[in-house]
Structure 1
Amino acid sequence: MEQANKDRSLVSKVMDGLVTGIVEEKYGAILPPQDVLSKEFDVSRTVMREALSMLLARDMLDVRPKIGTRIRPMSDWRMIDEDVVNWRFRAKPDPLFLRDVIEFRILIEPRASAQAAARGSAADIAGIREAFEAFRVIRPGEASYQEADELFHTRIVVASGNQFFKQMAAIVRGALSTVNPIVTDKDGLWEGAVSSHQRVLEAIERRDPNEAEIASLALIDFTAGEVGGKFSTEPPTRV
């Protein structure tokens, strides 16, 4: 059992190293042969084969005869997998990815806010209030700012009671980690962010699904405008 746990830990470490190399474009389009990678990571071919198989299962790699192990486009990666989500958000964001991130938030978060207002338990809503109170006293750039913002948004998603939305919490966290550094360096933004978050919270506390959805959408629209002002992106598509 101890050896099995050690092997699993080693496989996870190798996977993480491979992904880092991929997102940093260390390998190009084709991974080196397994024996070369085994030497690079100082592991057995068995461990390397297991690590590669895990990435294959997540649609990140593609093995082709006479070509080798091809790195698939990030758009093909299985984003529903939390590990894949975390790895994908490590890469430097490009305008198309930022557009897709914002469109995802437009699809999920406003509806989740409405459902939190309609379905959330007293404990759920108290947890959202607690997260907001932490967020409102932390300035952008402080170590816990990102964590507090993520907690506020993910607690709303959980409070929606929708099991599929809950599975998307990792993407919401990744989306915030990507866009927050882009939009939090503008004067006056922090005050606006606190006000926007408070509007969502208070609508949920009043059990007003319509206002909660509108407030959440307004919050994301503001972010979209700030991102669009710094990157050449087409406006996000509302559905």
Structure 2
Amino acid sequence: MRKKGLLETMMSGAAAHTSHSQVVTELGKAIVSGEFPVGATLPGDVELAARFGVSRTVLREAMKTLAAKGLIVPRARIGTRVTPKDQWNLFDGDILTWHFAVGVDEDFLLHLSDIRGGFEPHAAALAARQASEAEINQMMRLAVAMGDPDHTPETLALADLRFHLAVMEASHNPFMRTVGSLIEAALAGVFKLSSPTADRSKIGDVAANHMRIVEEIRRRDEDGARRAMENVIRVGRRRILSGADDRGG
């Protein structure tokens, strides 16, 4: 079964299904939220197994998963400690999901926007060089679909995500494809703060800005594609700042 992405999880509120995923999710959120702060030693296996109602085998596997994500490290004769935040794998989709679950601030979203600015304009330039005609046609269909006046905030966010992931695919760079969770998190954050669907007149502008990216890619204009993508990211950044202002900073 395909794992739901961050946007779909946020929209559906879907919970973890297996005992392992439940423990990973709940402990992950507890660490990210600061319930177990950096440097803290987690409770012992017996206490945690009782807290989550799972076997010690399930708990140990969950701990291995969290350690692989960089959140914890086991220490002999000391216990399992929460690692410094600079050791957390923020490219990991689960860790990004947990940040949104416990609440993110404007700085977090702006950092995500900065990372998008580092990757996506170059991906658009690569797409102008590498994309096939079929990929260009698909990107244009996705951009046009963003202009549907009947979009809800959720459907527009998903349409936006599909477009940006298509550009990453069309770059034909396998490393670009691995940053999809960052793009999804950034779009999810903007979706949470402010959606163009609040002002129907802006939906057409969103579609037009994305169609401009495809037009530059179709012309094989790498600089033009880069600038068009930079413009879309700037618009998203302004929505982050505007959304924060509307919510009182």
The within-5 A match list for 1:64-213 is 64=75, 68-137=79-148, 139=150, 141-184=152-195, 187=199, 188-213=201-226
Distance 1:33 1:229, change over 3 A: same
- Is 1:36–2:43 an aligned residue pair? no
State the partner residue of 1:53.
64
- Is 1:15–2:24 an aligned residue pair? yes
Q: CA separation in 2, counterparts of 1:138 and 1:176?
A: 19
TM-score, length of structure 2 as denominator length: 0.79
**Letter of the aligned partner of 1:69 in structure 2?**
T
Q: CA separation in 1, counterparts of 2:85 and 2:158?
A: 26
CA drift at 1:89: 4.3
Point out the more displaced range, 88-97 or 55-64. Answer: 88-97
Question: How many residues align structurally?
Answer: 225
Q: CA separation in 1, counterparts of 2:243 and 2:156?
A: 22
Q: CA separation in 2, counterparts of 1:137 and 1:126?
A: 18
CA displacement, residues 106-155 of structure 1 (integer Å, 9 cap, x when unaligned):
01111111111110112221221222232221555344222111000010
CA displacement, residues 73-106 of structure 1 (integer Å, 9 cap, x when unaligned):
5443113344444444444222321221011010
Q: Is the 8 A contact 1:139 1:190 kept in 2?
A: no
**Letter of the aligned partner of 2:26 in structure 1?**
G
CA displacement, residues 190-219 of structure 1 (integer Å, 9 cap, x when unaligned):
333222112112212222221111111011
Give the SS at the match of 1:51: helix
Distance 1:91 1:163, change over 3 A: farther
Point out the more displaced range, 198-207 or 20-29. Answer: 20-29
Q: CA separation in 1, counterparts of 2:110 and 2:153?
A: 26
Uncovered stretches (5+) of structure 2, i.e. residues with no partner: 1-17
CA displacement, residues 57-86 of structure 1 (integer Å, 9 cap, x when unaligned):
211113346764333354431133444444
Distance 1:82 1:226, change over 3 A: closer
**Letter of the aligned partner of 1:92 in structure 2?**
G
Distance 1:217 1:160, change over 3 A: same
Distance 1:91 1:161, change over 3 A: farther
Give the SS at the match of 1:136: coil
Q: CA separation in 2, counterparts of 1:140 and 1:49?
A: 44
**Letter of the aligned partner of 2:121 in structure 1?**
P
- Is 1:214–2:223 an aligned residue pair? no
TM-score, length of structure 1 as denominator length: 0.82
Point out the more displaced range, 204-213 or 130-139. Answer: 130-139
Give the percent of matched residue pairs that are identical in Structure 1 and Structure 2.
Answer: 29
- Is 1:226–2:239 an aligned residue pair? yes
Question: What is the root-mean-square deviation of aligned Cα atoms in Å?
Answer: 2.6
Distance 1:107 1:13, change over 3 A: same
